[in-house]
Amino acid sequence: MPDSEDMLREIFQRQSQLNDEIFKKQDLRDRDGKVLTMAAIREGLEREELGPNGLVNQWLRNYLTALKAEADEVEQDLLWKWWSKDRIDLQNIRVEIVDLMHFLTSLALVSGLSPEDFHRLYTKKHEVNRNRQEQGYSKDTKNEADNKSVR
């Protein structure tokens, strides 16, 4: 079985390829009129075209909107009537969670994160979260300064 970083790398590669296929199929174009690609979005990132009308902002917003919609789909599958005899469809919920991962991965790609960057930042942020819990995390003790150490 491959290690977790290899699996994450594969997920990132597959998502980038799928995004490119969707851009082509939907005939989505970049600013120069060429079929949009993840590479074109990365080039905008490298040129620091980070304003409201840049591809980076546009596609972060698009993928965030999709991520929220998928989260809503998970929520719609959850039961809230505690008196009900209904049961959740766990298989469908799992598939919706995987859809969340599709859009989370796209967000990571558009923001310029590699699988290694994602893993590194996750690990560092995980440690911040653990430390917060050990220190009795609450809104009164919350301090965003510890997030600044996550690089």
Instruction: Give the per-residue pLDDT at 151.
Output: 87
Report long-range pairs for 120-125 (Cβ below 8 Å, ≥24 apart). 121/150, 121/151, 124/149, 124/150, 124/151, 125/150
pTM score, whole prediction: 0.89
**Are 149 and 86 members of one domain?**
no
- Rounded-to-integer distance, Cα 140 and Cα 61, Å: 31
Q: Which residues span the domain enclosing 139?
A: 114-151
Instruction: Give the per-residue pLDDT at 145.
Output: 79
**Are 100 and 123 members of one domain?**
no
Instruction: Give the per-residue pLDDT at 120.
Output: 95
State both tokens at 1: 């079985």
Instruction: Give the per-residue pLDDT at 140.
Output: 79
Instruction: Give the per-residue pLDDT at 2.
Output: 66
By CB atoms closer than 10 A (0-12, 13-18, 19+), residue 110 is buried
**Are 82 and 139 members of one domain?**
no
**Are 31 and 69 members of one domain?**
yes
**Are 118 and 131 members of one domain?**
yes
By CB atoms closer than 10 A (0-12, 13-18, 19+), residue 17 is exposed
**10-residue averages of pLDDT along the chain (151 residues):** 80 98 97 95 96 96 98 96 96 97 98 96 93 85 79 87
Kindly report the number of other CB atoms within 10 A of residue 104's CB atom. Answer: 18
Nearest partner of 39 among 102, 112, 136, judged by Cα: 112
Look at the chain and report how many structural domains it folds into.
2
**Are 24 and 34 members of one domain?**
yes
Q: Decide if 40 contacts 150 (C-beta within 8 A).
A: no
Instruction: Give the per-residue pLDDT at 135.
Output: 86
Between CA 71 and CA 117, with CA 7 as vertex, the angle to 5 degrees is 75
**Are 22 and 44 members of one domain?**
yes
**Are 68 and 96 members of one domain?**
yes
**Are 86 and 133 members of one domain?**
no
**Are 108 and 123 members of one domain?**
no
